[in-house]
Amino acid sequence: MIHDSLSLYGQAILDYFEGNIENKLVSVDELGRRTEVPIKLFFREFEDFPEWEKTALQLCSGKVLDIGAGAGRHSLELQVRGFNVCAIDVAQDCVNVMSRRGVREAHCADVLEFNSEPFDTLLGVMNGFTMIQTLGKLRPFLGIVRRLITQDGQFLVDSTDLRCSADSEVRRLVESKISDGRYFGELTAHLEYKNKRGSLLRELFVDPGTLAEAARDSGWMSEILLSQKNGRYLARLKPLR
């Protein structure tokens, strides 16, 4: 389960918050490449957010559900701007941290099982489709989260078209998946932290065309608000009337 595969991420967030910054969180992708994940990035202030995150926060309206809130940086910024924000994350350590940092409403929850009154904005940035894991789950996911949004609401979410990657090894992996008849946006990895290895993490990266088709089939309309040469993009989904 994605909850298990992200437990080390939550532990690293908690340790960093409590001042234990010497330990390194490492992501190992399916090519065997090891990449250190800078924990300080999850504690950035608004001025240091990447462009698509700034845009997403500036477009938020009404009551907001921050999905996969991590250390709470988006929720805290939205609170400063006067928004009513509810933050959720599957990692209890993350929820503890964001609560201690001042997020007023924080819950340890999977968005697929979260029960609440509808929100005006669903916010899912930092690859908001990670928790879906496989392309086959995208349409069911969009159908389920529709119950969490008002009729005039919006779902702001970012992802990446891996075919645009500047990384030659990633492009070769994408080509291999396509030639094998697999969806190229399904990747696997695992995390390592303090001599522990997390369970397999399945990640889904959705290209804009595939997202548009899945959204339409699930009762949404979609538009791309921002796109970058490396394939990263921010989309807005709105329920079809």
Q: Divide the 241 residues of the chain into consecutive groups of 10 and give the mean pLDDT of each group.
A: 75 96 93 95 96 96 97 98 97 97 97 94 93 93 95 97 94 95 96 94 95 96 96 96 77
Torsion (CA) 35, 164, 124, 184 in degrees, nearest 10:
-80
Structure-token pair, residue 12? 């690293």
- Domains detected in the chain: 2-239 (3.40.50.150)
Residue 123, strand partner residues: 66, 156
Write down the H helix ranges in 71-225: 73-80, 92-101, 138-145, 168-179, 208-217
| Sign (positive or negative) of CA dihedral 97, 156, 153, 183 | negative
Rounded to whole angstroms, how far apart are CA atoms 6 and 25? 11
Spatial contact of 160 and 236, defined as CB atoms under 8 Å apart = no
| pTM attached to this predicted model | 0.95
Helix (H) or strand (E) holding 60: none
